């Protein structure tokens, strides 16, 4: 070969190659802002396009290109047939090029709102973002959306590439006005430190070389900025964190914990704490295939061996003993919803952190964020591509740091338990158990939250009917059945209400109404507590039963009419009350000298003259099951 270099030079050459740094960046912005063209241009100008690729690019450009007989650089980076046909980018494409000092991984992300999740995928691993703007169009909704996501993901290095300057006659005025417009938005989302560059991806201005068309611009070209930008290693300076991925136990003599140091550094002898347990130990050695290390720092994948035999498994985090992460099962986080199915509070999801999967529910959507105006909107669910701030409740505690302090310790994804799809990404703001956050709790814990930890649907089972119809007997059996299924219940009846709360009330019509009103209000409080309340009162008047019904939410009030004729009841007369009433010894006795108004809309009617109490209870349980009051899973106790 003609261009063989001398052996010494070759060694140096290889050493340079080996010691390159790595910069990962994304290009984002609205559709047709020229992202793909820009990357094609970068690859072309950095001579990363091979002859055979160039040959097929030239053919494709003529066939499906948008630049007439010129090369359509965008075709280089749109990988899928479907994308090439539609002329749009669906998914993020990764491209690679390198210069003397750096290797670059470029994520070319889709501009359509529909594919925001794919844009976020690319942004999540980026050190830097190039936000493109079409100089003719200025700042668009997608520019703001992508900028917001970039800022949310903690990407600190921003290049604002104002593209297609060739189409606005390289006007400084246009450039300045877009830069100012963008700044007013960027300032509000914490991206004020950005570098604006006027470029033409198509013509090549200010990509590698400045060119002659923007003499008014004195700043760096895009490549100069990429080459010199400092990729700040915040992780190295932060406290030591090591999520345990895998327990490495080849034999009885070796027990190590494999994982990647996500932040800080560690040396043999350093004191560590295991979270969530809080047990402490010291590092004995740092084992790798290439021998033990004196030190490991952020980014390195190693295996740690500890001095003490302690119980550690995947999902635990090893951390600096004197600077530990928090442990919580409740936190507030920003969520980007990425599934077609909307996010619903209370629905169970799987949450995965760096190394742990736990069950999780969103307990409250505090607000949605309008990426265009940054307004906080109220809402009860998040739709595809919507952003919101939520409280989450986990099945078990995890160790975490706020995302702002430590990206890898503060990030998570949500997975749908049925389809296994990744449906959301989340960034933890703070835990909700800390004393200084205690004020969140009264707002967050509501009826459904209370009911959820009891795993049941709160309701009032309102037993009405004549004295002696069998209300209390049947209610007792129903409560026993519910209890056996581990439902949390309470019975309100004459025994525990008339003797306490309502002992000041007699049996006049006024007192009967007040009696029922108090019972209804008490039932409502208990339903708010998440309980299943069995009320067993004659409650003879329709109006008061309606009052009780209207206090509850739709579906929470189940009226059960224990129907037996006066004759049957008087015949049973278990307490001898009918006898006394007939003799006039008891006044205002329902059925005798006070009316009983039959229910008109009872959910359940029990023919108590012909059913045993057990059969009556069967009928009620069946109704509860069929109408979703009982979770099916718990039936076998």
Partner 1 sequence: MSLTNLAKLEAESIHIFREVVAECENPVLLYSIGKDSAVLLHLAMKAFHPSKLPFPVLHVDTTWKFKEMIEFRDRMAAELNLKLIVHTNKEGVEQDIGPFSHGSAKYTDIMKTQALKQALDKYKFDAAFGGARRDEEKSRSKERVFSFRNGSHRWDPKNQRPEMWSIYNGRINKGESIRVFPLSNWTEADIWQYIYQEGIPIVPLYFAQERPVVERDGMLIMVDDDRMPLESGEKPELKRVRFRTLGCYPLTGAIESEADSLPDIIQETILAKTSERQGRVIDQDSTASMEKKKLEGYF
What residues are annotated to the active site? 539
- Cβ of 436: how many Cβ atoms within 10 Å? 7
DSSP secondary structure letters along 299-324: T-EEEEEESS-----TT-EEEETTSP
- Residue closer to partner 1 by CB (options 153, 158) is 153
Task: State the minimum distance, in angstroms, from the CB of residue 60 to partner 1.
Answer: 7
Task: Give buried/exposed letters for 78-116 (b at 16+ CB in 10 A, else e).
Answer: beeeebeeeebbbbbbebebeeeebebbbbbbbbebebb
Helix residue ranges per DSSP H, 155-230: 172-186, 222-228
Q: 627: which residues sit within 8 A by CB, 6+ positions away?
A: none
- Residue closer to partner 1 by CB (options 314, 433) is 314
Are the beta carbons of 474 and 618 closer than 8 angstroms?
A: no
Token pair 């800022």 is found at 151
- Cβ of 263: how many Cβ atoms within 10 Å? 25
Task: State the minimum distance, in angstroms, from the CB of residue 596 to partner 1.
Answer: 57
- Residue closer to partner 1 by CB (options 77, 611) is 77
- Residue closer to partner 1 by CB (options 78, 556) is 78
Task: State the minimum distance, in angstroms, from the CB of residue 146 to partner 1.
Answer: 15
Task: State the minimum distance, in angstroms, from the CB of residue 117 to partner 1.
Answer: 4
Task: State the minimum distance, in angstroms, from the CB of residue 85 to partner 1.
Answer: 10
Q: Tell me the two tokens of residue 440.
A: 């969140």
Rounded Cα–Cα distance for residues 92 and 48 (Å): 19
DSSP secondary structure letters along 69-87: TS--THHHH--SHHHHHHT
CA angle, 571 as apex, 567 and 576 as ends, to 5°? 125
Determine how β-strand 296-297 pairs with β-strand 128-134.
unpaired
Helix residue ranges per DSSP H, 167-311: 172-186, 222-228, 234-237
Task: State the minimum distance, in angstroms, from the CB of residue 235 to partner 1.
Answer: 9
- Residue closer to partner 1 by CB (options 300, 444) is 300
What are 196's strand-pairing partners?
A: 160
Task: State the minimum distance, in angstroms, from the CB of residue 246 to partner 1.
Answer: 5
Alpha-carbon distances, residue 322 vs 239, 240, 258, 305 (angstroms): 9, 10, 22, 19
**Nearest partner of 476 among 495, 449, 459, 458, judged by Cα:** 495
- Residue closer to partner 1 by CB (options 246, 635) is 246
Task: State the minimum distance, in angstroms, from the CB of residue 488 to partner 1.
Answer: 33
- Residue closer to partner 1 by CB (options 244, 616) is 244
- Residue closer to partner 1 by CB (options 410, 613) is 410
């Amino acid at each position: 070969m003609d261009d063989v270099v001398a052996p010494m030079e070759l060694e140096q050459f290889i050493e340079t190659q080996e010691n390159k740094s790595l910069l990962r960046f994304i290009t984002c912005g609205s559709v047709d802002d020229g992202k793909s063209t820009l990357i094609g241009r970068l690859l072309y100008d950095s001579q990363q396009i091979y002859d055979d690729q160039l040959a097929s690019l030239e053919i494709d450009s003529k066939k499906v290109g948008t630049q007439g007989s010129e090369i359509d650089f965008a075709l280089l980076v749109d990988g899928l047939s479907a994308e090439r046909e539609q002329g749009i980018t669906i998914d993020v494409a990764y491209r690679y090029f390198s210069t003397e000092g750096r290797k670059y991984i470029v994520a070319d992300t889709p501009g359509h709102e529909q594919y925001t999740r794919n844009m976020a995928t690319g942004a999540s691993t980026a050190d830097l973002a190039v936000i493109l703007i079409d100089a003719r169009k200025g700042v668009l909704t997608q520019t703001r959306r992508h900028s917001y996501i970039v800022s949310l993901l903690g990407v600190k290095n921003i290049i604002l590439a104002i593209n297609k300057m060739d189409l606005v006659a390289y006007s400084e005025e246009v450039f300045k006005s877009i830069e100012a417009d963008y700044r007013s938005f960027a300032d509000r989302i914490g991206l004020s430190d950005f570098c604006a560059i006027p470029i033409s991806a198509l013509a090549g201005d200010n990509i590698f070389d400045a060119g002659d068309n923007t003499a008014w611009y004195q700043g760096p070209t895009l490549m100069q900025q990429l080459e010199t930008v400092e990729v700040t290693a915040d992780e190295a300076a932060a406290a030591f964190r090591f999520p345990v991925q895998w327990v490495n136990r080849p034999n009885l003599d070796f027990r190590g914990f494999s994982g990647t140091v996500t932040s800080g550094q560690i040396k043999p002898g350093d004191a560590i704490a295991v979270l969530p347990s809080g047990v402490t130990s010291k590092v004995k050695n740092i084992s790798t295939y290439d021998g033990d290390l004196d030190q490991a720092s952020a980014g390195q994948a190693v295996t740690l061996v500890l001095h003490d035999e302690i119980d550690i498994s995947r999902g635990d985090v090893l951390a600096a003993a004197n600077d530990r992460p928090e442990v919580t099962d409740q936190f507030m986080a920003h969520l980007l919803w990425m599934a077609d199915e909307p996010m619903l509070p209370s629905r169970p999801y799987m949450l995965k952190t760096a190394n742990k999967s736990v069950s999780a529910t969103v307990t409250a959507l505090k607000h949605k964020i309008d990426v265009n105006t940054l307004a906080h909107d109220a809402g009860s669910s998040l739709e595809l591509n919507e952003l919101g701030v939520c409280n989450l409740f986990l099945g078990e505690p995890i160790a975490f740091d706020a995302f702002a302090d430590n990206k890898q310790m503060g990030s998570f994804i949500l997975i749908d338990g049925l389809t296994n799809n990744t449906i959301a990404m989340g960034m933890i703001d703070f835990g909700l158990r800390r004393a200084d956050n205690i004020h969140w709790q009264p707002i967050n814990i509501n009826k459904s939250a209370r009911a959820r930890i009891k795993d049941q649907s709160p309701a009032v089972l309102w037993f009405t009917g004549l004295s002696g119809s069998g209300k209390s007997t049947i209610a007792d059996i129903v409560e026993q059945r519910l209890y056996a299924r581990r439902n949390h219940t309470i019975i309100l009846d004459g025994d525990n209400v008339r003797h306490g709360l309502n002992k000041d009330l007699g049996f006049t019509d006024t007192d009967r109404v007040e009696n029922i009103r108090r019972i209804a209000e008490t039932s409502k409080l208990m339903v708010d507590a998440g309980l299943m309340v069995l009320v067993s009162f004659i409650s003879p008047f329709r109006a008061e039963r309606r009052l009780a019904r209207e206090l509850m939410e739709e579906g929470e009030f189940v009226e059960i009419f224990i129907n037996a004729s006066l004759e049957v009841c008087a015949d049973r007369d278990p307490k001898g009350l009918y006898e006394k009433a007939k003799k006039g010894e008891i006044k205002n006795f329902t059925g005798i000298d006070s009316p009983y108004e039959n229910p008109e809309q009872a959910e359940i009617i029990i023919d108590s003259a012909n059913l045993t109490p057990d059969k009556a209870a069967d009928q009620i349980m069946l109704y509860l099951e069929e109408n979703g009051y009982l979770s099916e899973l718990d039936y076998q106790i």
